[in-house]
Amino acid sequence: MVVTASNRAAAGVYEDRGGPLLVEGLAGMGFAVDGPRVVPDGEPVAAALRAGVAAGYDVILTTGGTGISPTDATPEVTRPLLEREIPGIPEAIRAHGRTKVPTAALSRGLAGVAGGTLIVNLPGSTGGVRDGLAVLDALLVHAVDQIRGGDHPGPGPGHAS
């Protein structure tokens, strides 16, 4: 599921561009995707996240609301839902983005598990979404498998044990 947190896009002031990129990226990784659901930042994001967790989605990606402006509240409404945080995911996304845009360090996005659902907050910019997808492409399928209780793959040929 994809959730876009944007007061202006939810009000029709401008078109959501990050959400469709996330839908395309998740579909390219083999996920069936619901969304994007465009909602104002804050409690509407929390409601969408709760609904997605209750529906049993494997992954919920949010875009928007992770910055430092007064209306950015996505991390604050995400954190109470998480049973286990996974700090390495947003750290990797920020590090990847920082190589191109120094302000990527200002993103406060979180990642973690709620029920059996992996939730990842991504920035609202299309560049931030692309950076997030670049990082997630290498780990999302494995993370979902692990959340479901999958075993770690053993060493393959040519690997020392």
Q: What is the mean pLDDT of the chain?
A: 93
139: confidence class by pLDDT, cuts 50, 70, 90: very high
- pLDDT at position 68 is 96
- pLDDT at position 154 is 53
Q: How far is CA 21 from CA 5, 52, 116, 144, 150, in A?
A: 14, 19, 24, 20, 28
Spatial strand order in the sheet of 117-122: 37-39, 2-5, 59-63, 117-122, 111-114, 84-85
Q: What is the mean pLDDT of residues 7-24?
A: 95
Percent over 90 (pLDDT), the chain: 89
Q: What is the mean pLDDT of residues 90-112?
A: 94
pTM: 0.92
